[in-house]
Amino acid sequence: MTKPSKPNVSEHEIAARAYQVWEAAGRPHGRAMEHWLAAEAQLRGAAELRQSSRLPGNRYGLVLKS
């Protein structure tokens, strides 16, 4: 079985999510990289979940929790 490829997340999507994270944190100054990395991790994690639900052998699209 082949390993699934890393999900694609655009810079635009990350920037939009980072803005939401920044606003939720109270718009603090000087933490842009922290918000960017948090947004990127959130979006990649969500994309990986969506991708794993489409792998062969999971014909119902279910995401199993451990």
Please check whether residue 18 is in contact with residue 39, taking contact to mean a CB–CB distance below 8 angstroms: yes
- What pLDDT tens digit does each residue of the chain (66 aa) get? 455 566 688 999 999 999 999 999 999 999 999 999 999 999 998 888 777 766 565 555 555 555
- For residue 65, being part of any structural domain is answered with no
For the chain, the domain total comes to 1
- Could you give the CA distance from residue 38 to residue 22 in angstroms, rounded to a whole number? 10
Residue 36 within a domain: yes
What is the domain extent for residue 41? Answer: 11-52
59, part of any domain: no
Cβ-based neighbour number of residue 17 at 10 Å: 20
Q: Does residue 64 belong to any structural domain of this protein?
A: no
What pTM does this model have?
0.66
Position 44 in a domain: yes
Is residue 28 domain-resident?
yes
